[in-house]
Amino acid sequence: MTLTIENAAKTFADGTRALCPTNLTVGPGEILSLLGPSGCGKTTLLRIIAGLERPDAGSRIRFDETDVTGLAVEHRNVGMVFQSYALFPNMSVRANVGYGLKVRKVPAEERRQRVDEVLRLCRLTDYADRPTHALSGGQRQRVALARAVAPRPKILLLDEPLSALDAALRDSLRDELAAMLRQFRITAVFVTHDQSEAMAIADRIAVMSSGTMLQVGRPEELYHAPANAFVARFIGNAMPLAGQMENGVLHLPGGRLQLPASAAGKTAYIRSENIRLDRSGSLEGKVETVTFSGGHFRLAVGGVLPDGSLLYLQHPGRTAPESGSTVRLTIDPSDLIYLADQTSTHS
Amino acid sequence: MSDRTFVTACLVPLAVFALAFLALPLVRLVQASSESEAGWQIYLQILQTPRYLETLVNTVLVSLAVSLAALVLATTAGLFLARNRFIGRGLLLSVLTLPLAFPGVVIGFLIILLGGRQGLFNQLLPGHIVFAYSLTGLFLGYLYFSIPRVLLTVMAAVEKLDPALEEAARTLGASPWRIVVDVILPGLAPSLVAAGAIAFATAMGAFGTAFTLATNIDVLPMVIYTEFTLSANIAMASALSVLLGVVTWALLYVARSFAGTTVAAGG
Amino acid sequence: MKRSLAWWLQGAVTLVIAAFLLVPAVQSILAGVTVNYFRGLSSGLTLKWIERVWELYSASIFLSLWLAIACLAVTLVIGVPAAYALARNPGRLSRMLEEFISLPLAIPGLALALALLQLYGTLSGFRTSWTFILVGHVLYTLPFMVRSVLAVLMAMDFRSLEESAATLGASAFTRFRTVIVPNAMPGILAGALTVVTLSIGEFNLTWMLHTPYLKTLPVGLADSYASMRLEVASAYTLVFFAMIVPLLMAMQWASARAQRIAQ
């Protein structure tokens, strides 16, 4: 099914604009992630798609060719996984999963078969008759997913499906969730504030901030060609190199960088993984802190950027310079991202 | 049926019932209080007629005494039961809380069994101790139904009290007495105010106990009852009811702003 | 640990209070099964007073049971949906409505009874029927049902449960029936036991609302205290205790359970 969102906006009764007019299309079987910090309107948009929130006049939501804007949530045939999972405490795992089929009056035999199939796909067969409070966090998440897909919804909506889990579990369940979503082949929209989660699961990511959709694209597009400073910072923590540009040369407190002519009038951004320690580098700074994080050292270097801003870099060696020492750095100009006028962006 | 319609429909039975059997009757009660020759002046009359004024003062004094006594006794017992574990504690707790929903008439009868002419005390010391039909009897009767209420409120509050506060005071060298004064009582204060108010309001409106004891002490509910049934002075009975209702409601309302819950009323 | 003087004093106060509450209750129980109360237990034990109570007052006992069941039915029908609606709209208007229907907890029963009598006393068909007493009982017990259910609903994330049921295709009524009611059950149970217990024991309103042909259990008790010999009055009290104490214990158990869930 293709989801088409036209002009969807939401203004709350107190006048707060939760979502500015937004357009978006999600293709059949595509998994799209709504990514942004809390309060950016991503959950509001998800709830508008589900029918749990009524959008402002002029908004249109279509499932394929059908306009569902005025359709009540219970008639939309959506599947939703809630942040808290919202499993019915008064029902067993099986009854939870079968609930959507039961209220749609699917005959008992067909219902049993369908529930068994979904339980198997979600590896829940052994837990079918348990009460939901006897399950682990990961199992609860799978029940929530199984319950949402059992009635064969037109679209699957997931609201921060991993945030209720503890950090250790989250990473392993992320890939598992991605695999399960792919096997169901349902158009899916899922909300998250975690960029690594979005990248691991989604085909495309829509980055949102302050009620506005800033950029929609494949993860690598967003990473390599962010549309603005917010996206550059939010996806992969790009750091602005704020300095004076003169004749294609960027003057920074810690040295100079040669930039191509196309960079004129724009701000250059760099990510920590693209900065290298190099004795013959053109930039000089003082190491402020050194932290070892397994695969590499993370260095905060002062004196390169103006106003006391720190430049972070990843150093893959077995040893690292001590804090307080002076280091020289190299940045390959091809790794730089050039974005227009920093002041007009959200941060 | 849409979601909004359904939620609204859920309120309809309540709204109809509350309008027909609460709002309209109360309006009628207030209206009836003005239907004597005195008109609205009847409320002034209450304060000018010695009999009513005396009743009012009596009722307030008995209720006040009962609330204070119940607070002191039930807080003592409540702290003891909340802080100690011993065999029979559960039983003791049941004995102390079960009278919660005994109706006032039954409590009146129990007081007669204790202090009536054929009561326990008069049997043990014949000819000396008959207190059921006096102010003492009324006081004890009211105390009987106040103690469980206050006890439950106090115990709930004690359980919510952070034991670390008491331990902190102890590490700072405070004596047990100082801990009670400086830590426990201030922590319980909101609940004590609420419990005291509940006890006071319940005592103000208690009818069954006074009725059974057939006491010669006039308390407000008894006067309302006699004005209505014997004197057929409906306006005065209504005015006194309005007065009583406003006082108890206002008191409980203020008390609730100190602490959350009210324990089952009755009596 | 060494017990301080204060500890012993506290314990003594607790025991004295317990004795104050327990002794007269035990007295009434014993008096109800003693052949002659004035001669004491040595006169022997008997069930004849209880039989006498049954002859005189069984109608009152059945009327009270019937009223309690009817009152429960009405408070369930009115109170449970209302609690849900109040939980759905946690605004000022809801608080005011909740406060208003809770008035019968604060205003003495006598005043409420007078109000009802003056408005409906002239509708003789209603005035003389058992439904008039029922109205009083519902008025008094309804706030307990509403608050009990409301507390449990507010403590759980019932909106998410309901929304997830909605996305699964359940209509508003189906959600209420299959999700809200089953999960509010601890609150409904605690409320139901409170309603039945309070209805059986209600006197203040009932005394004013009853007619000579419709005496409830507590009205009968007042009658027996005024006009029967002490043994019969005690036996009747004993019968009342036998009904009310198990209910009270069940009510306290259910309320504690509902409160645990509500935390």
pLDDT of residue A346: 41
Which residue on chain C is closest to A97 by alpha carbon?
C168
Distances (CA, A) of B146 to A130, A194, A298, B162, C218: 46, 57, 68, 26, 19
Tell me how far apart the alpha carbons of residues A82 and B61 are, in angstroms, rounded to a whole number: 58
CB pair distance less than 8 Å for C167 and A79: yes
Give me the helix-helix angle, C130-155 and C185-201, nearest 10°: 150
Chain C within 8 Å of B40 (Cβ-Cβ)? no
Would you write out chain A's pLDDT as a tens digit for each of its 347 residues?
999 999 999 999 898 999 999 999 999 999 999 999 999 999 999 999 999 999 999 999 999 999 999 999 999 999 999 999 999 999 999 999 999 999 999 999 999 999 999 999 999 999 999 999 999 999 999 999 999 999 999 999 999 999 888 888 888 888 888 988 888 889 999 999 999 999 999 999 999 999 999 999 999 999 999 999 999 999 989 999 888 888 888 889 988 888 887 787 888 999 999 999 998 888 999 999 999 988 889 999 998 888 888 999 999 888 889 999 999 999 988 899 999 865 444 43
Q: CB-hemisphere CA count at 13 Å for A322?
A: 2
Option in C161, C164, C185 nearest A80 (CB) = C164
What does pTM read for this prediction? 0.87
CA distance between the termini of chain C: 34
Alpha helices in chain B (DSSP H): 3-18, 24-32, 42-48, 50-83, 89-97, 104-115, 120-124, 135-160, 163-171, 176-179, 185-205, 208-213, 220-229, 234-258
Distance of alpha carbon B75 from alpha carbon B79, whole angstroms:
6
Interchain CB distance below 8 Å, C171 and A74: yes
State whether residue C179 sits within 8 Å of chain A by CB: yes
Of residues B165, B208, B214, B206, the one with CA closest to residue B185 = B165
- Residue C177, chain A, CB below 8 Å: the answer is no
Complex-level ipTM = 0.90
Q: Determine whether the interchain pair C203/B204 forms a contact, defined as Cβ–Cβ distance below 8 Å.
A: no
C41 touches chain B (CB under 8 A): no
Q: Is C231 on the interface with B (CB under 8 A)?
A: no
- Cβ separation A86–C157 shorter than 8 A: yes
Q: How high does pLDDT run on average in chain B?
A: 86
Does C211 touch chain B if contact means CB atoms closer than 8 Å?
A: no
Across A220-240, b (16+ Cβ under 10 Å) vs e yields eebbeebbbbbbbbbbbebbb
Task: Say what the pLDDT of residue C191 is.
Answer: 94
Tens digits of per-residue pLDDT, B44-57?
988 888 989 989 89
Q: pLDDT, tens digit, for every residue of A244-271? A: 888 888 889 988 888 887 787 888 999 9
Closest by Cα among B203, B191, B108, B210 to B152: B191
Residue B194 binned pLDDT confidence (cut-offs 50, 70, 90): confident
Chain B residues with CB under 8 Å of C172 CB are 1-3, 5-7
Of B148, B208, B264, the CB nearest to C203: B208
pLDDT for the residue numbered A70: 92
Q: pLDDT band for position B256 (50/70/90)?
A: confident
- Nearest Cβ partner of C167 from A73, A84, A89? A73
* Interface membership of B158 toward C (CB under 8 Å): no
Minimal CA separation from A99 to chain C, in Å: 7
Provide, rounded to the nearest whole percent, the portion of chain B with pLDDT above 70. Answer: 95
List chain A residues with CB under 8 Å of C179. 88, 90
Residues of B in contact with C14 (CB under 8 A): 76-77, 80-81, 92, 96
- Is residue C78 less than 8 Å (CB to CB) from chain B? yes
Chain C residues touching residue B29 (CB < 8 angstroms): 111, 114-115, 118
Residue A297 · residue A291 · CB < 8 Å: yes
CB contact under 8 Å between B249 and C108, yes or no, is no
pLDDT tens digits, B206-252? 898 888 887 677 889 999 998 888 888 899 999 999 999 998 888 88
Of C106, C119, C225, the CB nearest to B252: C106
At residue A51, the pLDDT reads 94
Cβ of B208 within 8 Å of Cβ of C207? The answer is yes
Angstroms from C186 CA to nearest CA on chain B:
18
In chain A, whose CA is at the least distance from the CA of C158? A86
**Chain A partners within 8 Å of C167 (Cβ):** 50-52, 73-74, 76, 78-80, 148, 157
Q: Which of C161, C111, C79 is nearest to B28 (CA)?
A: C111
Question: CB distance C221–B103 less than 8 Å?
Answer: yes
pLDDT in the model for residue C94: 87
Query: What stretches in chain C show pLDDT beneath 70?
Result: 1-2, 262-263
H-helix or E-strand containing C187? helix C185-201
Interface contact B208-C222, CB threshold 8 A = yes
Residue A341 has what pLDDT? 65
Helix A167-184 / helix A108-121 crossing angle, nearest 10 deg: 130
Q: Residue type at C112? A: L
Cβ–Cβ contacts within 10 Å for residue B190, how many? 15
Indicate whether B89 pLDDT > 90: no
Q: Which residue of C118, C194, C233 is in closest CB contact with B28?
A: C118
Q: Is the pLDDT of residue B262 over 50?
A: no
| Model pLDDT, residue A293 | 84
**pLDDT of res. A109:** 96
pLDDT (tens digit, 9 = 90+) per residue, C21-35? 999 999 888 888 888
Give the count of Cβ contacts less than 8 A between chain A and C. 69
Give the separation between CA B112 and CA B255, rounded to whole angstroms. Answer: 33
C23 Cβ under 8 Å from any chain B Cβ: yes
pLDDT of residue A347: 39
Closest by CA to A127, choosing from A111, A112, A139, A115, is A139
C251–chain B Cβ distance below 8 A for any pair: yes
Nearest to B13 among C81, C107, C218 (CB): C81
C173 and chain A in contact, CB less than 8 A: no
Instruction: Choose among B32, B76, B205: nearest Cβ to C13.
Output: B76
| Interface residue ranges in chain A relative to chain C, Cβ cutoff 8 Å | 50-52, 72-80, 82, 84, 86, 88-90, 99-100, 103-104, 147-148, 151, 157
Question: Pick from C21, C30, C13: which is nearest to C235 by CA?
Answer: C30
User: Binning pLDDT at 50, 70 and 90, where does residue B151 land?
Assistant: very high
Long-range (24+ apart) CB contacts under 8 A made by B129-136 are: B132/B213, B133/B213, B133/B214, B133/B215, B133/B216, B134/B215, B134/B217, B135/B62, B135/B215, B135/B217
Joined together, the tokens standing for residue C211 give 């007619």
Whether C178 has its CB under 8 Å from any CB of chain A: the answer is yes
